[in-house]
Structure 1
C-alpha cells in the first residue's frame, strides 16, 4: 500500500491511497473460506460448501467490504502517525474511475483534507475583562425567602382577592358593545395575579369575592403574554388566535398559597434535622445559597465575555470551502441557505475550540475521567432535584451517571464542558480581572 499527501496550500491537502492486490487478497480469501465453513446451501453438507462457489456468489461484496475497511483504517492510521491536524473528516474526492472489483484490481482513492491552521492567539495580563461580584441585596433575599416559604406552604381559600392570589373564574367573551359574543370563548379557568402586568387591571381584581362579577375585563391587555393567554383561555397551541376583545369575569373561587411558618419543622424539611434552628441561621443559609448561585451567574457571564473577547482575537483563516462541503455531507438535511446563514457561528466556535485545544496542550491541562464523572453527576443531580424533593442516594446517582456516560454523545459533551472549564480557570489566572461589585437587579439587566 502506498499513501502520499499533496499539500494544496496551508489549509488544504489531498491524500492519495493506492491499494494493490497484495494488500487485500490474503484477507479476502480468508473471509471467503470462513464464509464457506458457515454457509448452508442445498446439496452441500454443512461446512462443505466449496470456497469457489462462495467466491462466485458473494466474493465481490466481501472484496468491497474489506477494501473499504482497509482504506478507512489506513487513512486514519496515516493521519495519526504523521500527526496531521485536520478539521472535520477526510472527504472522498469525486472520481470518474469505475473499478471492476475482480480480485486483481489496483485501487486508487483520493481524499480531501481540511488542515487546522496555526494557532497564535496568546493571553496575558494586558488582556482585561470585568469580573462582577454580585451582592445579595435585601429585595432579592426577601423574594427568595418568600418563594421558599410558599413552596412549603399550604393552599387556602380567602374571602377576598389580594395581590399574589389565584382567581378561579368564568371568562365569557364580549362584543365591542359589551354584549356576549355568540359562539365566542366561554371558559372556567385560573388567572394568577402575579402575571397581571397592567396596574389598572390588577386594581380591579383586588378585593373581589366569590360570585362577584367584572362586567368588562380586558384580559389581553392585563396579561400581555401570548403563552400565558393561550394557557388561560385554553386555545389551540398549534394555531392560537388571541381574541382582541374584553371578557365578563365571574369569580368562582380564590386560591392563596400561604407562606410556611419559620419553625423547626420547616427548617428540618428544607435543610435536614437540626441543621438550622433559628430564623437568623435560616437567613444566613439562604444568603449563602444565593451567593453561591450568584457566583455561578457571574462566572457564566465572565466565561461568555471571555469567549466573545477570545473569539475576536482568534482571526486565523480556516479551510472554509472544505468545511462547508464536509458539513453538507455530515448533515444531509441542511439546506444551502441554512448552511450559509449558520456557517459564521460554526467557524467562530471552531476557532475558539482550536484556541482551547492549544491551551490544553501547551499548559498540559489534564482532563481526568474523575472530573468528567463528577461533572456529569452534578448535572444529573440538579435535574433530579427539579422533579423530586427527595435526593437520590450517592449509589443511585453513581449508577445513573455511569449509564449516562455510556452514551458517546453524552460523554463527549461533558468532556467538552470540563475542558472549557479547565481553560476558563486557567485564563482567569492569566488575564487581568477588574473586580466590580454590582447588585443582582442591575446584573440581570446586564444579562439582558
Structure 2
C-alpha cells in the first residue's frame, strides 16, 4: 500500500492512497471466513456455510467494508508517523467515486482525501508574561448577607399581621378588566423590580388591596410563573394593571444563634459560640472567593492567549467536515455557530501544545477523583449534614464515568486544570488584594 500527502498550503493538504489486491485480499478472505462461521442460511447447518457461497452473496459488501477499515487504519498510522496535526477527519476529495471500480477482488484502488492541518504558531505564554491573581477580601456586607441566608435556611415560618420588605405575600392578583386573569399565588416582595411598587407592598395586612403594574413589578419569566401563563403571553399582556389582595403574610424568621443551629451546620461539634460560627462562615466565603479568583485568572489567561495567537484555519474544509459529520445541520446553522466553533478549536490547539511541550498527562485516577469531588459538592449542596463515605463516592463516580459524554467532559476539565497549573508555573503572577465589591466590578467590565 502506498500513502503520500501533498500540501496545498499551510493549512490544507491531500492524502493519496493506493491499495492493491495483495494489500486487501488477506483481510477480506479472513472476513469472509469469519462470516461463514457465523452465518445462518437456509439449507446449511450453522457454521457450515461454504466461503464461496458467502463470497457470491456478500463478497462486494465485505470487500467494501474491509477496504474502508484498512484505509482508515493505515491513514491514521500515516498521520501519526508524519506527525501531521490534523483537524477533524480526512474527507473524500471532491469528485471521488466508487463507481469506476469493478469490486471484483482484482482492482487496484486509488483514493484521494482532503485534510485540514492545524496552523503553526508559538504559544504566547513565557516567563515575561505577567498576570494578576486577586486576593479577594471578605467585606462585612458579604459576611452579614451570608450569615443571614444561613440563619434563614434553618429558620421558621411565621405569619405576622403587617408585611415588611422580604416577606412573602400569599395574595390574589386580578387583572383590571372584565373577564381578566385572576390568580392566587405567592409574591416575594424582595423579587419586585420597581422600587416604588416594592415600597407599596410594605405595611399591608390581610385583606388589604393595592394596584400594581405587573410588567414593572416582575421580570417576564417570573410574571409568567406567577400568573400561570407562558412567557409570550406574559410579554404581550394587553392590560398590565392588576389588583393585589393580601390573603396572608408569610415571614421566614432567622434561626437563633444557639447550639442546635450550630450542630445542624457543623455536626462535628467544633462550633459552640457565635464567634466560632462567624469565623467558619468567613473561612467558607474566602474559600469561595479563592475559586472566583482562580476562575478570573483562568479567564485572563484564556483572553490573553486568544488575542495573541493570530492564526488562519482551513475554514472551507472544516465547514465541509461539520456538514459531513452532522448531516442534520443546515448550512445556515453551521455558519451561525462557526465563529464559536473556531474559538473553541483555537484554544484546544493552544492547550494541546502546552500539554505536549510539557509532557503533561491526564491519569484515570485524577479523572475519578474529580468526579468524586463534583459528586460530593452536589450532595452537600442539597444536604449539608450528609457525609457520604469514600466507597459511596467511588460507586457514584463509576456510574458517572460510564457515560462517555460525562467521562470526556471530566477528562477535558482535568486537562484544563493541568494546563492552568503549568501556565501559573511559567508566567509571572502578581498578587493583589481587592475588596469583593471591587472584584465584582472587574468581572462586569
Instruction: Give the alignment partner of residue 130 of structure 1, picking from 124, 129, 132.
Output: 132
Long gaps (5+) in structure 1: 175-180
How large is the RMSD of aligned CA atoms in angstroms?
Answer: 2.0
Residues in 2 aligned to 1:381 and 1:218: alpha-carbon distance in whole angstroms = 44
Q: Quick one: which of 100, 104, 107 aligns to 2:106?
A: 104
Instruction: Give the TM-score taking structure 1 as reference length.
Output: 0.92
Change in Cα spacing, 1:369 to 1:39, as seen in structure 2 (3 Å) is closer
C-alpha separation between the residues in 2 aligned to 1:30 and 1:369?
Answer: 36
Partner residue of 1:276 out of 266, 271, 275: 271
Task: Provide the rounded CA distance (Å) in 1 between the counterparts of 2:217 and 2:163.
Answer: 16
* Kept after mapping to 1: 8 A contact 2:212/2:242: yes
Aligned length: 440
Structure 1, residues 11-50: CA drift from partner, whole Å, max 9, x if none? 2221111111112222322332333333333333444333
Q: Which residue of 1 aligns with 2:309?
A: 314
Q: Report the equivalent of 2:199.
A: 203
Please list, as runs of the form range in 1=range in 2, the aligned pairs for 1:218-297 lying within 5 A after superposition.
218-223=213-218, 225-237=219-231, 239-243=233-237, 244-297=239-292
Deviation per CA, 1:332-354: give whole Å up to 9, x if none: 33333333343333223322222
Does the CA contact (< 8 Å) of 2:123 and 2:354 recur in 1? no
* 1:364 Cα deviation after fit: 2.5
Structure 2 residue runs of 5 or longer lacking an equivalent are none
Equivalent residue number for residue 177 of structure 1: none
> Does the alignment pair 1:64 with 2:64?
yes
Change (3 A) 1:182 1:117: same
Partner of 2:431: 435
Matched, 1:445 2:441: yes
Q: Does structure 1 conserve the Cα–Cα contact (< 8 Å) formed by 2:220 and 2:234?
A: no
Match of residue 150 from structure 1: 152
SS in 2 for 1:374: helix
Partner of 1:173 in structure 2? 175
CA–CA separation in structure 1 for the residues paired with 2:404 and 2:42? 44
Distance 1:38 1:206, change over 3 A: closer
SS of equivalent residue, structure 2 residue 256? coil
| Equivalent residues of 1:212, 1:251 under 8 A apart | yes
Give distance in 2, aligned partners of 1:415 and 1:33. 40
Separation of aligned partners in 2, 1:439 and 1:46 = 78
Partner-residue secondary structure (3-state), 1:260: coil
Match of 2:11 in 1: 11
Structure 2 CA distance for partners of 1:427 and 1:48, relative to 1, 3 Å: closer
Distance 1:322 1:40, change over 3 A: closer
Task: Render the CA deviation track for 1:206-261: whole Å, top value 9, x for unaligned.
Answer: 121112222x22233233x1111111111124654453421122111111111111
Does the CA-based 8 Å contact 2:136-2:439 persist in structure 1?
yes
Q: 2:320 maps to which residue?
A: 325
Which residue does 2:419 correspond to in 1? 423
Secondary structure, aligned partner of 1:119? coil
Partner residue in 2 for 1:361 = 356
Q: CA deviation at 1:125?
A: 4.2
Residue pair 1:119, 1:358 contacting (<8 A) in 2 also: no
Deviations 1:371-421 (A, max 9, x none): 222222222222333334434322111111122223332222222212222
Matched residues in 2 for 1:9 and 1:73: separation? 25
The alignment's TM-score, normalised by the length of structure 2, stands at 0.93
TM-aligned CA deviation for residue 369 of structure 1: 2.1
CA separation of 1:394/1:339 partners in 2, compared to 1, >3 Å: closer, same or farther? same
Q: 1:340 to 1:280 in 2, by over 3 A?
A: same
Q: Post-superposition shift, 1:144?
A: 0.5
- Deviation, 1:327, is 2.0
Cα deviation code 1:123-174 (max 9, x no counterpart)? 2343233322211111100000000111111111111111111000111111
Seen in structure 2, the aligned counterparts of structure 1 residues 376 and 212 have a Cα distance that, compared at 3 Å, is: same
Structure 2 counterparts to residues 46-85 of structure 1, below 5 A: 46-85=46-85
State the distance in 2 between where 1:325 and 1:406 align: 32
How far apart are 1:96 and its partner, in Å?
Answer: 4.0
Partner of 1:25 in structure 2?
A: 25
- 1:48/1:97 Cα in 2 relative to 1: closer, same or farther (>3 Å)? closer
